[in-house]
Structure 1
Amino acid sequence: MKKILTLLTFGVLCGCTPQNTSSTLALTPVGYESLAGWGQEDFTSLMPLLRSDCRRLSQLPPETVLGGSESIPYGRHVSDWSNACAALASATDGRTYLETWFQPYQATDDAFYTGYFEPQIAASLTRGGEYQVPVYGRPRNLVRAKATNGQMVNGRWVNGQFAPYYDRAAIDGGALDGQGLEIAWLKSPVDLFFLQIQGSGRLILPDGGQVRVSYDGRNGQAYVPLGRVLVQDGELPADGVSMDSIRNWLEAHPDRMMSVMERNPNYVFFRRDDGDLAQGPKGAFGMPLTAGRSVAVDRSMVPFAMPLWVETKLPYGAAQPVSWDHLVFAQDIGTDIKGAGRADLFTGWGATAQSVAGNLHAHGRMILFLPRQPADSPPGSGAQ
C-alpha cells in the first residue's frame, strides 16, 4: 500500500512533530513478564501471520537487507531469520514459539502511534452525471532520474532537460487531459485528496461492486500538510486538526477548497489492483496488510518483518481511548513515519477503521522482537 508515501495520520494532516523523532535506536533487553497484556494475546491468530512473514522472507536472497538501525544486533538481513523460520515449521503453540525464538528489546517507552486505513469511496469506471473527478493512472512521461546529489527524483524530460513534474494545480488545471489516463471517476475532489493521502482505496461502484486502486507513483513535488495550512491561515486551531475537521472545512468552503488543496503540490497516481478484497492492500514489504497487525515504520530504524509489541491506547467512538497491547508486524513504510519510536497502525477498512485511524495519535511503549540466533536460544529450543 505504501509505497504509499503519504498517510492519513495526525502527523501528516497537521504537520506536527511527535516528541520521539530520534534518529538513533537504543535497545534494552527486557523479559516477557514486563509486557503488559502478554498473557492475554491471541497467539493462535499470530501463527498464520508469522508463517506468512517467513514465506515472504524465503522468497528473498539470504543477503537481502531488510532495513533497520545498525544498533540492531540481528534481524536486519534475511539470513538472520533462517533458524526462527525453520523452527516455525514444526511449532504448534504460538506463545512457546515466540518466547523461545525471539528476544524482546525495549526501543522506547515514549513511542508515538498514528493510524491509516483503506478508504471506501463512491466511484464510477466511466465519466457521467455526478462522477466528474478523474483518478489518474501513472503518466507515461513521469520518470525517475538521479539528481546532482545522487538521490533519485521524479520528473519529466522537456527539450532534453530534466524538469519537475506538473504540480497539483497544473494537473487540476488540465495538464494531463487527453492522455487517456483516467482509471475511474469520483464525485468530489475532496474524496480524491484523501484517497491520495492514503495511497490505496476501495472504489464502490454504482452497481455495488468494488474495485481496489493502489499507489503507482507520485509527481515528486513536496508534501505540504493541509492541517498546517489551515492552522497558519487561522481556519483551524492547532489542537483541532483531524481528518474530520479538515474534511468538514473543505466541504464547507467549496469556493476555496481547490486553492487550499493545491497548496499541497504533491500528487499521487494509481493503478487498478485486482488483488483479493478479503485482504488488505499490499504493503511495501510485498504482503497484504492485516488490520490491527500491520504497521508502517521508518525502515532505517526497524527492519521489515520485525514483530513489535505495542502498548498504547486506541480511540473508539466517543468513549475514552482504551488500552491496546498487541503484537504487530513491520510490513509497510510512510513518508511521515520518521525516527525511532514511530509507527503507523493499519486499521483496515470501513467506518470504524476510518474513525480509529483518523483519531489515533497516542504515545506508548514499543518493544522489538529480535529473532534469536542458535548461540543465544534458550535451553530446549532445539537450536543446532
Structure 2
Amino acid sequence: MLEIIFIIFTFLGSPSGICFGQTTDPAPLLVLLDKNEIPVFDDDADLDSLKNALLQSLNYYAGLPKETNFNFGKDVYSLQSLTDSLKFLENYLEQSPSKEEFSRFIRDHFLIYRSCGMGSKGLVTFSAYYEYTLSASLKEDSIYKVPLYARPPDLLDVYLENFDPSKRGERIVGRADGKNLIPYYTRQEIDSFKILENKNLEIAWAKDPLDILFLQIQGSGWLEIKDSTETFHIRYAGDNGRKFKSVGLYLIESGQILKKDFSRKKMVDVLSQLPEEKRQEVLNQNPRYVFFEVTSPTTPTRGSLLVYLTPGRSIASDPKVFPQGALAWFNTEKSVFDKKGKIIGKKPLKRFVLNQDEGGAIKGAGRIDFFVGRGQEAQKMAESFWSEGDLYFFIKKPSP
C-alpha cells in the first residue's frame, strides 16, 4: 500500500517549509503551543494497548547512552527528560483514568508541540502499514522460484551519530571493499544479476517478485508455506541503503498506467502481462532492497528501534524530524466499510501513539505511517487509509 501512497504524495508536491502563516523564515519542524492553542486530546482505543507501547519506548530509552538528546523542533531535551515523561504517564495510567481525566491530565502536565506538517496549514498526511502475507515454499521449484533473502553477513550499517551527535537518525549502508566502504548491491544486482545466489541466504521462495516487493514495502509479514499448515513470521533485518523509488510512479510516468486509473490491482495486472524479464526491469526501478529474518510466530513485530510494535499504537516517521520513542497524538479520519467491504464514509480517528519505527518512503514533517497489525481488517485499513490531520508531540513540564 505504501507504493500507492508514495505516488499520491509525489503528485501532491513537497512541503513548502512555511508553517502557521509564516512567510519568510524557514519553519521549525515542531512548534510549542500556547495554552489557548491546545486541543482536547480524545482517544478512541483502549488504554491497555497504550501501556504496552509506553513500555516498549522505555525499553528503547534504557539502552541508549545517558548523554543522548532529542530535538523537539528548536528545543532540545535529554534522554532523562523523555524517560521521566513516559514513566510519569505510565504511573498515571495505573489509576485507570476516564478518557476525559486522561485528556485533562495531558493538558495540565505536559508541554505540547505541534508538527508543522505540509504547507501553511500544518497538516500531516497519514497512511497505514500492516503485516503482509504471501504464499511461499521452503524449496525452490518451477512455480516458487523467487528467493526471499536473509540479511547478508557483509551488509554494514554505519550510524553517523556515533561520529557526530548532530547526525542522529542518519546512517550509511554498504559493504567493505578492502579498506573502503562502498554502496551495497542494488535490486538489479540482487534479482537480475543474482549476486547473492548460492550463498545460503534463502529463507524461502515466492511465486512472483512483486510479492517480494510488497512484503519489502510493508517491512514484515507472514509466509504461508506450500503444502503445509505452517506459517513463518518474518521481520525486517536490514536494507541495502538505497533510496526508495516508486515502481507505480514509474509506470505512470512511462505511460503504462494512467494516473486516474492507478490502484494496486491495476499495477499487478499490468506487470503480470509483461514478460518475466521485462517485469523485473520495471521492479528494478526501485533499487531499495529489504532483507528479513524468521522469528517466532508468537513474537510481535519489531520496528527500527528494535522494540516491539503495538498495533494501533505505534507509528513510523522520519527519524531526522521527530523524536524517536516519544509520545504523540494525531487527529484524522479513517474509512468506514459496509458488510461487503465497500467504503461508505469516514469517521474520526484520534489516538495517542509512540514514535517507534521508520520507513523508506516516510520522509519529512508531513508524513506519518500508522502500524495496524495483521489480518483482513488490518489490510483493509492499510489499503484505504490516506488522510490529512494534525500531529502533536509531548514532554512532561519541568518541575517548579
Normalised TM-score (structure 1):
0.81
Cα deviation code 1:286-319 (max 9, x no counterpart) = 2211222111112222112222221112234422
Residues 10-25 of structure 1: matches in 2 within 5 Å?
A: 10-11=5-6, 15-16=10-11, 20=15, 22=17, 24-25=28-29
* 1:244 is aligned to 2:291: no
Distance across 2 between alignment mates of 1:157 and 1:81: 37
Letter of the aligned partner of 1:77 in structure 2? L
Structure 2: stretches of 5+ with no match in the other structure: 18-26, 117-121, 161-166, 337-341
Shift of 1:369: 2.1
Distance across 1 between alignment mates of 2:54 and 2:176: 45
Residues 131-210 of structure 1: matches in 2 within 5 Å?
A: 131-143=144-156, 153-157=172-176, 163-173=182-192, 174-206=194-226, 207-210=228-231
Which deviates more, 80-89 or 108-117?
80-89
Residue 270 of structure 1 is matched in structure 2 by 292
Shift of 1:17: 5.4
Residue 343 of structure 1 is matched in structure 2 by 368
Distance across 1 between alignment mates of 2:58 and 2:243: 36
Residue 246 of structure 2 is matched in structure 1 by 225
* 1:113 is aligned to 2:115: no
Cα deviation code 1:228-249 (max 9, x no counterpart) = 2011111223344443332332
Distance across 2 between alignment mates of 1:117 and 1:21: 30
Distance across 2 between alignment mates of 1:213 and 1:318: 31
Which deviates more, 323-332 or 32-41?
32-41
Cα deviation code 1:243-268 (max 9, x no counterpart) = 33323322243453222112222222
- 3-state SS in 2 of match to 1:292: coil
Distance across 2 between alignment mates of 1:286 and 1:133: 28
Distance across 2 between alignment mates of 1:222 and 1:80: 31
Shift in alpha-carbon separation, 1:250–1:197, aligned structure 2, 3 A: same
Distance across 2 between alignment mates of 1:200 and 1:134: 16
Residue 313 of structure 2 is matched in structure 1 by 293
Distance across 2 between alignment mates of 1:177 and 1:261: 18
Q: Is 2:86–2:327's contact at 8 Å kept on the other side of the alignment?
A: no
Residue 382 of structure 1 is matched in structure 2 by none
Q: Is 1:9–1:115's contact at 8 Å kept on the other side of the alignment?
A: no
Distance across 2 between alignment mates of 1:163 and 1:58: 33
- Choose the corresponding residue for 2:95, options 92, 97, 121: 92
Distance across 2 between alignment mates of 1:309 and 1:245: 34
Q: Is 1:213–1:272's contact at 8 Å kept on the other side of the alignment?
A: yes
Cα deviation code 1:341-375 (max 9, x no counterpart) = 32111121223322322332211111222222212
* 1:284 is aligned to 2:304: yes
Shift in alpha-carbon separation, 1:355–1:244, aligned structure 2, 3 A: farther
Letter of the aligned partner of 1:306 in structure 2? A
Distance across 2 between alignment mates of 1:286 and 1:152: 16
Q: Is 2:28–2:73's contact at 8 Å kept on the other side of the alignment?
A: no
- Choose the corresponding residue for 2:71, options 61, 68, 71: 68
Letter of the aligned partner of 2:270 in structure 1? W
Residue 330 of structure 2 is matched in structure 1 by 310
Q: Is 1:9–1:114's contact at 8 Å kept on the other side of the alignment?
A: no
Shift of 1:80: 3.7
Higher normalized contact order (CA 8 Å, seq sep 6+, divided by chain length)? 1
Normalised TM-score (structure 2):
0.78
* 1:81 is aligned to 2:83: yes
Shift of 1:9: 5.8
Residue 163 of structure 2 is matched in structure 1 by none
- 3-state SS in 2 of match to 1:229: helix
Structure 1: stretches of 5+ with no match in the other structure: 1-5, 376-384
Residue 358 of structure 1 is matched in structure 2 by 383
Distance across 1 between alignment mates of 2:87 and 2:29: 25
Which deviates more, 331-340 or 138-147?
138-147
- 3-state SS in 2 of match to 1:344: strand
Identity %: 27
Letter of the aligned partner of 1:346 in structure 2? F
Cα deviation code 1:207-229 (max 9, x no counterpart) = 22221222222233333211220
Letter of the aligned partner of 1:170 in structure 2? E
Cα deviation code 1:152-210 (max 9, x no counterpart) = 54344557765443322232232222211111111211101111222222111232222
User: Paired residues, what number?
Assistant: 364
Letter of the aligned partner of 2:83 in structure 1? W
When the two chains are superposed, the root-mean-square deviation of aligned CA atoms in Å is 3.3
Distance across 2 between alignment mates of 1:314 and 1:7: 16
* 1:46 is aligned to 2:50: yes
Shift in alpha-carbon separation, 1:272–1:330, aligned structure 2, 3 A: same
Letter of the aligned partner of 1:121 in structure 2? L
Letter of the aligned partner of 1:102 in structure 2? F
Shift of 1:327: 1.4
Letter of the aligned partner of 1:307 in structure 2? L
